[in-house]
Structure 1
Amino acid sequence: MIRISTIFVAICMVLVAASLGMVLYAMAGISGSESAIVALTALTFMILYNAVSIRLRDRSEAGSQITDLSRGTADLARQVAEFGRRLAAVEGKVVSVNSTSQDRIQSVIGEINELGTLVKQLASSVATHEDMLSAPPQLVPVTTAAPAISPPAPMPARDMPTQAPDIRPERLLSVAGAEAGTLAASTPVALASTTASSRNAAQLAAVVRSAIAESRIDIYLQPMVTLPQRKVRFYEAMTRLRDDKDQVIVADEFIDAAETSGLMGQIDHTVMLRCMQVLRRLMVRNKDVGVFCNVAASTLSHAATFADCIDFLEANRALAPSFVLEFKQSTFRNLGPIESEHLAALAQRGYRFSIDHVTDLRIEPRELADRGVRFIKVPAALLLDPQQNSNTDIHPADLSDLLGRFGIDLIAERIEGERAVVDLLDFDVRFGQGFLFAAPRPLRPETPVTGNLPATPDKASQSSNGSVRPARNEPPKNDPPRTTGNAALARRATTGPN
């Protein structure tokens, strides 16, 4: 496209040539044809001059651009050369580092092989000694008359079961006053359990209905402690009913009758209310404490009952991080569409779940974590059972680490001996619960939570699954011999993976 300046120059040259011709025609007396020739000649010279000047100017500009381009190309070449030099230096360093790393890895592999040989030798020695210790002693035949066998001496006082330690700095819940502080001596739990088991389903349903109507629903609290510090971190609320004679009925005995009669929802709603009150009082003194509240499967599946519970939980969702809803393992394995929807509604409101009554270790942690499960309670006897090594895909010693990768904490329950605690520490279990630490203690509706109950089990208390706890004056049970955690690790090192 022709530039405006070029057009303007052309017009000016035409005007100058025409003006020259008119001046020569008017002033010099030259004829019109001659003045036109002169004007045309002047215009031609001006056009030639303009073209030559433009060509010279363009050539000078092109030369300067070429010079600038060559200068930039030289700078780029210098930069590329510098980058090449630096890249060569980096490659040299990488090669030297790789060679050094290979040397170190080879030395570490050699040390690991030596350690493996030593561990196998140690494992063989330990297994041999353990087999010698666990083998029954051989009886030596006696030819003479056997001496009279005297009756066994009574157990020394030092071998009797001692009082469970007082868990500090957080001491357990207490019930103020003698009326609500301990179980009445006239109504032992063993007698209550025997009486309740003698009732049929209809009588149990009537007792449950009467207990609900007359507010004879009791809450028992049992602490869960951290291991090995034994610091109280959570409390589990256990439901007990009392009949018209104040005999205690444990959960395992009245749940079936309550679910058949459609009364389990009312019991769970009452227990949630009481647990929330307990949690509020506990959090006044300690913000890190939590309460586990058991919920039945029938409550989760019944739409009307669940609506009342979720309305209450929605009103108290500020305490959701410290209020854990606990379900049975069978409940989670048999979730239907309605139960899954209700469970998701609770998870959306920030509530966390726990699984108890675990009967086997076939656990899918990813699926449970997606549903909102944050705790799994496994009996200590199940974790320490050697048969679980062959019945599950993962060794029980690795279960805590596997669950921890999905944000789930493992709680060992029903711990009743110090030896079990030592073995569980080898399994990296963080929380424990059982009569070794404290027995479930009753909490009355009218009793304030003061937080200074000694962690001492009663003489006749019941475990979380409803079994009767032996009296304090009975001798302790002799645990069957089993492989300890270190010996089991040594044996696995010797035999190798299955």
Structure 2
Amino acid sequence: MIRISTIFIAICMVLVAASLGLVLYAVAGISGTESAIVALTALTFLILYNAVSMRLRDRSDVGGQIADLSRGTADLARQVAEFGRRLAAIEGRIASSNSANSDRVQSVIGEINELGGLVRQLAATVSTHEDLLAGHAPAPAPTEKPEPEVPVDLIAPFEERPAAPPPLPAPPRPTAPAAKTASAAQTVIGRNQTQMLATLRNAIDDNRIDIFLQPMVTLPQRKVRFYEAVTRVRDERDQLIAAEEFISIAEASGLIGRIDNMVLLRCVQVLRRLMVRNKDVGVFCNIAASTLGNSTSFAQCLDFLEANRALAPSLVLEFKQSTFRSLGPAETENLAALAQRGFRFSIDHVTDLRIEPRELADRGVRFIKVPASLLLDPKQASSSDIHPSDLSDLLGRFGIDLIAERIEGERAVVDLLDYDVRFGQGFLFAPPRPLRPEGASATGGAAPQQAQDIQGSNGPGIPSQGATTSGTTPATPSSRLTGNAALARRI
């Protein structure tokens, strides 16, 4: 539809051209034909001028519209980018929420499995008591077994443990750890590698892998915070063989995987007993480098640790410093799989203070054990990148705790306090001590069948170890049971 302004302009141009023709005809005396030609010519020029001016104006309007459209497109793009960022943030929150829920579900599943084992143990105990009360089975007579050393009491606190009872007058046997170690050393002298390998195989088959516990205490309070599980092997004559003497042979013969599996099982059993009294205690368990790199052995360990994932905050896996410095692709991937399941790592056998805390923290390391002599050595101040007195603060910035080990004198403790060391381990506080033969398992003195049930629930891939018990085998249940006993046996 033609706009009113355009009609008005057209009328004005016609009037101007007609007026020009009339003026020329009346004033200049030009004929009517010539005046009409001049008027038409003027009208033509006016029309052309108006058309050109309108075209130029339209072009300027189109340019402004294009600029407005560009600005609108840019605003739309910014809004789309903002919506994209918000959507990514929401997706990240959803993913983290799903991961947290999965971890909680796994923790609940682990606790349910543990409760199931306790219920089975309770049911068997109730059933046995009902049988005894009904008069169908005699009470089991306890048998006494001589203990080679003062056992570790996992229930009483470290500060409240009573002194070791005096040894019986007959038969005479050494009670000091030094005498025991000296006797074992003399027995091992002259043992060649073939005999040692045969001893290791027999010890694994006969379940003669023992666990000694050495506490790690806080400084200066000296309160027990962790225990380190130290492995010992007993030969056919019950002589102890230290780990330093059989580790290399076990790694060369491929037996270290089976030993690590048995040690992991014992550590989990010990940890369950410790956490009955104190939830803040932890256990350090040593893992060999060959086990970390062996796909078969590591798969068994990973399955077992996955089944006991609820204990991950309290079970610390310990590796040598040389192991971390020579990690291959397979070892790195296996280490990441353990860290992904919540397990923490510790480094021992430290030979120098050239430590990269950021790299270790990214791999899941939360503890570093350094010998006290190495920390207090004045030569380390010049040979390392950081002064030993600043090492604890540096590691603490990355969430890593420094543990001073092999402490044997009070003077070393005083010097380590100046270095802000919060944890200590050594013979000054307590030597490694064995568990009671009856209490080495987590069954707490249950019958052999009950011990097998509990150990079988710890996870796949780990060999079941029979627990030694001080009592006799429970009597055969009678054909007539009370209601409580029948219900307990059904559970």
Letter in 2 for 1:275: C
Q: How does 1:124-273 map to 2 (within 5 A)?
A: 170-171=157-158, 185=174, 188-273=180-265
Query: Partner residue of 1:154?
Result: none
Which of 393, 418, 422 is matched with 2:385 structurally? 393
Relative distance call for 1:354 and 1:227 in structure 2 (3 A) is same
Whether the 8 Å contact between 2:321 and 2:347 is mirrored in structure 1 is yes
SS of match in other structure, 1:424: helix
Relative distance call for 1:373 and 1:329 in structure 2 (3 A) is same
Relative distance call for 1:390 and 1:177 in structure 2 (3 A) is closer
Q: How does 1:80-91 map to 2 (within 5 A)?
A: none
User: How many Å separate the matches in 2 of 1:215 and 1:414?
Assistant: 29
Deviation at 1:201, TM superposition (A): 1.2
Whether the 8 Å contact between 1:170 and 1:231 is mirrored in structure 2 is no
Matched, 1:423 2:423: no
Letter in 2 for 1:441: R
Q: How does 1:423-462 map to 2 (within 5 A)?
A: 423-444=415-436, 446-447=438-439
Letter in 2 for 1:379: P
User: How many Å separate the matches in 2 of 1:211 and 1:231?
Assistant: 35
Q: How does 1:473-488 map to 2 (within 5 A)?
A: none
Deviation at 1:248, TM superposition (A): 0.6
Which of 379, 382, 392 is matched with 2:371 structurally? 379
Whether the 8 Å contact between 2:154 and 2:273 is mirrored in structure 1 is no
Query: Partner residue of 1:337?
Result: 329
Query: Partner residue of 1:350?
Result: 342
Query: Partner residue of 1:312?
Result: 304
User: How many Å separate the matches in 2 of 1:339 and 1:179?
Assistant: 48
Letter in 2 for 1:355: I
Whether the 8 Å contact between 2:215 and 2:227 is mirrored in structure 1 is yes
Relative distance call for 1:303 and 1:448 in structure 2 (3 A) is closer
SS of match in other structure, 1:276: helix
Q: Deviations over 1:450-479 (max 9, x none)?
A: 9xxxxxxxxxxxxxxxxxxxxxxxxxxxxx
Whether the 8 Å contact between 1:175 and 1:444 is mirrored in structure 2 is no
Letter in 2 for 1:268: D
When normalised by structure 1's length, the TM-score is: 0.54
Relative distance call for 1:216 and 1:449 in structure 2 (3 A) is closer
Letter in 1 for 2:185: S
Letter in 2 for 1:421: V
Q: Deviations over 1:214-237 (max 9, x none)?
A: 111110000000111111100000
Whether the 8 Å contact between 2:155 and 2:274 is mirrored in structure 1 is no
- C-alpha RMSD of matched pairs (Å): 3.2
User: How many Å separate the matches in 2 of 1:438 and 1:336?
Assistant: 37
Relative distance call for 1:307 and 1:3 in structure 2 (3 A) is same
Q: How does 1:315-330 map to 2 (within 5 A)?
A: 315-330=307-322
Relative distance call for 1:318 and 1:393 in structure 2 (3 A) is same
Whether the 8 Å contact between 1:221 and 1:235 is mirrored in structure 2 is yes
Query: Partner residue of 1:364?
Result: 356
User: How many Å separate the matches in 1 of 2:199 and 2:425?
Assistant: 30
When normalised by structure 2's length, the TM-score is: 0.55
Whether the 8 Å contact between 1:416 and 1:434 is mirrored in structure 2 is yes
Relative distance call for 1:176 and 1:366 in structure 2 (3 A) is same
SS of match in other structure, 1:321: coil
Relative distance call for 1:274 and 1:168 in structure 2 (3 A) is closer
Deviation at 1:196, TM superposition (A): 1.8
User: How many Å separate the matches in 2 of 1:224 and 1:180?
Assistant: 27
User: How many Å separate the matches in 2 of 1:397 and 1:169?
Assistant: 35
Query: Partner residue of 1:81?
Result: none
Whether the 8 Å contact between 1:268 and 1:299 is mirrored in structure 2 is yes
User: How many Å separate the matches in 1 of 2:410 and 2:431?
Assistant: 15
Q: How does 1:57-72 map to 2 (within 5 A)?
A: none
Q: Report the number of matched residues.
A: 289
Deviation at 1:202, TM superposition (A): 1.1
Whether the 8 Å contact between 2:287 and 2:318 is mirrored in structure 1 is yes
User: How many Å separate the matches in 2 of 1:305 and 1:179?
Assistant: 43
Relative distance call for 1:242 and 1:168 in structure 2 (3 A) is closer
Q: Deviations over 1:89-133 (max 9, x none)?
A: xxxxxxxxxxxxxxxxxxxxxxxxxxxxxxxxxxxxxxxxxxxxx
Letter in 2 for 1:377: K
Deviation at 1:269, TM superposition (A): 0.4
Letter in 2 for 1:319: L
Highest CA radius of gyration, 1 or 2? 1
Relative distance call for 1:239 and 1:302 in structure 2 (3 A) is same
Query: Partner residue of 1:491?
Result: none
User: How many Å separate the matches in 2 of 1:287 and 1:433?
Assistant: 20
